[in-house]
Amino acid sequence: MKKAMNSALLVSLSMVAGLAMAQSATDDIAKYREMIADGNPSELYEAAGEDIWSKPMGPKNVSLEKCDLGKGPGVVKGASAQLPRYFKDTNKVQDLESRIITCMEKLQGYDAKEIINAGFEKGKRKDVEAVVAYVVTASKGMKINVPVKHPKEKEMYAMGEKAFFFQGGPMDFSCASCHSEDGKRIRLQDLPNITDQKGAALGFGYWPAYRVSSGNFWTMQRRLNDCYRQQRFPEPIYTSDVTIALSVYMGAKAKDGVINTPGLKR
């Protein structure tokens, strides 16, 4: 009896020690984020993006200053807070990255397929990523207002919701496996509950972000790409409908949350 009590006591003490260590590590990460928050390296990408936005480039030697991101030609402020959204000229729901590519193709004469196939941080895709940093910074502090009014926006929301809960791959995972309950985490990384407005705002409102662990700027498309990788799914096609649909679902769930992009992530 006494031996059993001692064993139980040891288990209890081990659990308490483990919880204390986890809490200490979590506190340390919070302090680390606080220390580096004033010098977000995304500012370097933002500056590069602003230059690319206003500089004549491409086969047509034209700038992106007439690019319509949903609020009129050349208007950057507040644009990303309302993306993805339906665009009449393409008859599609587009996110920020797919819309920038449309502008690069139509205004500047670039080949959209080359940009899509380039890979992250390669070719003209690198320019897209820099422009993203510039555009999202202009919505910092604004409320998230992704529209779901047009029939195609409603269609994409439904697709995004289905994709979010779809289980598959060798691990039988879905987005919801990690992001549909409160209080979940992987190691010391908190996982926001995207099905809840508060959690969706924490997820959607802080991406794109500078990723400290990889030392570079990640767009939302790259974040979603990595989520699929972690689920052991095949890599999604850049700016494909399913990735845009997931952004519509998350953005709509996050309505009235605050845009805090570019974020700063571990």
Question: What is each CA distance from 263 to 81, 122, 126, 241, in whole angstroms?
Answer: 14, 22, 18, 24
Nearest alpha-carbon partner for 42 in 264, 201, 266: 264
Q: How far apart are CA 114 and CA 80, in angstroms?
A: 24
Q: Is 103 noted as a catalytic residue in this protein? A: no
Q: Which of 67, 103, 175, 227 is an active site residue?
A: 227
Residues in contact with 82: Cβ distance below 8 Å, sequence separation at least 6, in sequence order: 70, 71, 145, 146, 147
Residue type, 169: G
Other CB atoms within a 10 A radius of the CB of residue 248 amount to 28
Which helix (H) or strand (E) is 129 found in, with range?
helix 125-137
Asked whether the bond before 170 is cis by omega within 30 degrees of 0, the reply is: no
Return the active site residues. 227
